[in-house]
Structure 1
């Protein structure tokens, strides 16, 4: 307490009152009156017991049969009084409070805290909720919606968009991202990596409303390949082949290089799609500045750039 008043000795009476308050809290705590101690701490003057140190005291107390975890009591008391006592709930403790509530299967509490805007949101807090939905599938829709709120509020927009995609709102995710960046290519690749659905792939690679596609076909296929989603990259290529627009896609490519398309052709060959592989090679060799070389000692086709 002394550090609070070290520059203002005239307030020694208030310092004494605070010390007395802390002593009363310690007495309640030592007697195992954790619920009362939590409420007492939450309403303390100057917020002197609304801190990490006090949280650790409650965290060290083991569960008692048939009773609410003392740490959860502390968080409930702090959060319910944060507005009244004008002490915003800090981000670090927000994350701990969410972890604690979810460890006790109290998603209802987290929903209440998040929707009432009682917390200080952070990406880490959103991650905790998102992860809980992954291990509790029946609560996944609620967790995605809550995590989306948290991510959006703290500015982690790509993760908010991912939550939308995983809720089946792909178009909504695209519109959401476009509010914040003119061309969020990194965010699109992030979504492809973590939610490579057919709907998302179509949305990113098709033109719409007079606007160009968000990602080129080649860039999308390579992104899927580089993030371990081979089956999705092949699916996209076969869809393009069926629509008879593969040549147009390659010739209009502005991002994926000839070497990139050669890598794609090699993948097709490896996966027993020789016809598709040969078609890509044929389109590439028809371009000015690209030749196909057949080494005498190897029948393999090698693509090389020839800079004329």
Structure 2
């Protein structure tokens, strides 16, 4: 099969190469998926660049997420799964068989049935972004009826966070930058969308809700003071990213607001919580709650360009097409 691989970390054009390698076979409890579309996430480019280094077992095929069709199953897996359209998550987590290849092999439960109403593109966008959004919203308690602030509501995680929160009946305010991203967050269902660059961003949010119950935070180092100004004793600030690796927290400020702070990295989330995310996302897909982000298409031979697009912060979703 054709696959993108790297055997050491570094810049995309220096370490990524497309090669012909032996197609993997599914072991016990595994399925093999013929990949149609592979989704590229920031976590994938961080692993390849060495920014967040992970062990490499001889070689690494990148990308955690994708969509395709099961064409073989291992021992102990129902043979009726052959032919199912699926979305794949954590394909490269502790394994060499990421989705940037014509085939991947994953544990049975990491290939999830894709409803006929969902496109391969949408399937390849789920995984890391939608499951991160679920964790940020459901950690400790579901968001039903809460008031939720989604920072970066036009990004991949923010997009799915807005849609999932609205689906539960939450009131949702989102921030975004620029007309296109504001329109995208609004289309996802956010009640108001506020330009985070506006000088009166706090006042605009408070006109909708003086305090919020939960913050889904993409940029803690930039937004902490805004988040605290919107926080009360029942508020949880749940962070999954920050532009700066270190954040200075004034303890008294946090105490004054009696705020809870949670941090989310999907790779450390307990397996039962990941399975709960998959179940919720599956129902949301069936009910047509989740929608696609704008697509930027690349071929496997353009794998380096695809990674560079993500590194540059391109708006929308970068997808690599295998079939």
TM-score normalised by the chain length of structure 1? 0.25
Greater RCO (CA < 8 Å, at least 6 residues apart): 2
Name the one with the larger strand percent.
2
Looking at CA atoms only, which structure, 1 or 2, has the larger radius of gyration? 1
Name the one with the larger helix percent.
1
